[in-house]
């Protein structure tokens, strides 16, 4: 099978990915992380000050306002990062397969994301009455930043980094190395070591399955849809963590105070079962490319471009 995301498709006007080594990929992740943090911090600072808070007490007591400002800052930051990645990678939207075909190909994976979210949704039914209304009212606000975040991360890690690594080393090593880099993107040293391992492990598995999915589809549509549904479920669960306290106050407080040194065992149960379902669905869908992934050796390089 010819992996269009890696080797291009001249008939569709898609150029191949330029091969790069793991060093360049890791460097791209570090630069992207620093750029994202810088833009997000500046946008958040401007937003908080614009709401009337003093520099010495940026967040004040209005957790809902902080949550809103954080969402806006994240939108600005990921828009800036997406623009930077597209401009510097040399990959166009056509090369990434971001077109009507990707949109259509991504729609079934929205349903797959709903299936993955079932364990989380079942847990929410134990909450006091009223949470479905709160969750439904939050969806229009949460959906745009979540979709933007998921889309930019898929462009960066699968459309650029994985494709370049696969072109250099072959599909299998491209999938595995890009998944390691994707997990490092989510590394948070402020968490308890158990949560650090859980986060690194779960994001590695998600990175592998997402990479296999884009290789199978030839575009990012399905991966973006599945990624967005995963993050949207997490955001809804975050806002309802203290229900019946107000959704946005809980969301803002949780985002502001997310780092913790105490291990939360519930995080494992809330992550592993949905991850197992997601992995089973994706591996079933991409089973036909396993042999091609194992056989692919990438494009030969005459010099070391790490």
| Residue 19 near residue 168, CB atoms below 8 Å | yes
**What tens digit of pLDDT does each residue of 24-37 get?**
999 999 999 999 99
Q: pLDDT at residue 45 above 90? A: no
Position 305 scores a pLDDT of: 40
Residue 46 is assigned to a structural domain of this protein: yes
Position 78 scores a pLDDT of: 94
Position 262 scores a pLDDT of: 59
Position 64 scores a pLDDT of: 67
Residue 301 is assigned to a structural domain of this protein: no
**What tens digit of pLDDT does each residue of 72-113 get?**
888 999 999 999 999 999 899 989 988 888 889 999 999 999
**What tens digit of pLDDT does each residue of 52-75 get?**
665 544 444 566 677 777 888 889
| Residue 167 near residue 95, CB atoms below 8 Å | no
Q: What would the DSSP string read from start to end of the chain? A: ---HHHH-BGGGTBPPPPP--HHHHHHHHHHHHHHHHHHHHHHHHHHHHHTT--GGGSSTT-HHHHHHHHHHHHHHHHHHHHHHHHHHH---TTTTT-SHHHHHHHHHHHHHHHHHTHHHHHHHTTSPTTHHHHHHHHHHHHHHHHHHHHHHHHIIIIIIIIHHHHHHH-HHHHHHHHHHHHHHHT--TTS-HHHHHHHHHHHHHHHHHHHHHHHHHSSSHHHHHHHHHHHHHHHHHHHTTTTTS-HHHHHHHHHHT---SS--HHHHHHHHHHHHHHHHHHHHHTGGGHHHHHH------SS---
Q: How confident is the model at residue 1 (pLDDT cuts 50, 70, 90)?
A: low
Range of the domain at 291: 4-295
* Residue 9 phi, psi dihedral angles, 5° rounding: -155, 90
pTM as predicted = 0.91
Residue 139 is assigned to a structural domain of this protein: yes
Residue 64 is assigned to a structural domain of this protein: yes
Query: How many domains does the chain divide into?
Result: 1
Residue 149 is assigned to a structural domain of this protein: yes
**What tens digit of pLDDT does each residue of 109-164 get?**
999 999 999 988 888 888 888 999 999 999 998 999 999 999 999 999 999 999 99
Residue 306 is assigned to a structural domain of this protein: no
Residue 303 is assigned to a structural domain of this protein: no
Q: pLDDT at residue 234 above 50? A: yes
Residue 300 is assigned to a structural domain of this protein: no
């Amino acid at each position: 099978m010819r992996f269009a995301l890696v080797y291009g498709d001249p008939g569709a006007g898609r150029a191949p990915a330029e091969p790069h080594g793991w060093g360049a990929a890791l460097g791209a992740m570090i630069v992207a992380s620093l750029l994202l943090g810088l833009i997000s911090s500046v946008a958040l600072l401007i937003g908080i000050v614009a709401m009337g808070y003093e520099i010495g007490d940026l967040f004040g007591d209005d957790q809902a306002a902080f949550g809103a400002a954080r969402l806006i800052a994240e939108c600005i930051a990921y828009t800036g990062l997406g623009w930077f990645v597209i401009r510097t990678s040399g990959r166009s939207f056509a090369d990434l397969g971001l077109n009507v075909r990707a949109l259509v190909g991504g729609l079934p994976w929205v349903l797959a994301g709903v299936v993955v979210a079932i364990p989380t949704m079942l847990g929410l039914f134990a909450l006091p009455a009223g949470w479905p209304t709160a969750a439904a009212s939050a969806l229009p606000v949460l959906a745009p930043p979540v979709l933007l975040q998921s889309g930019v991360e898929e462009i960066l890690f699968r459309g650029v980094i994985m494709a370049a690594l696969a072109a250099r080393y072959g599909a299998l090593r491209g999938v595995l190395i890009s998944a390691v880099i994707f997990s490092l993107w989510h590394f948070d040293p402020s968490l308890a070591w158990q949560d650090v391992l859980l986060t690194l492990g779960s994001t590695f598995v998600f990175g592998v399955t997402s990479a296999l999915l884009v290789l199978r589809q030839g575009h990012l549509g399905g991966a973006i849809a599945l990624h967005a549904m995963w993050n949207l479920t997490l955001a809804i669960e975050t806002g309802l963590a203290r229900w019946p306290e107000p959704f946005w106050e809980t969301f803002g407080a949780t985002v502001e105070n997310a780092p913790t040194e105490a291990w939360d065992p519930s995080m494992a149960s809330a992550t592993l079962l949905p991850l197992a379902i997601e992995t089973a669905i994706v591996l079933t869908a991409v089973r036909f490319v396993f042999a091609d992934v194992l056989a692919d050796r990438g494009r030969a390089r005459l010099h070391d471009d790490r």
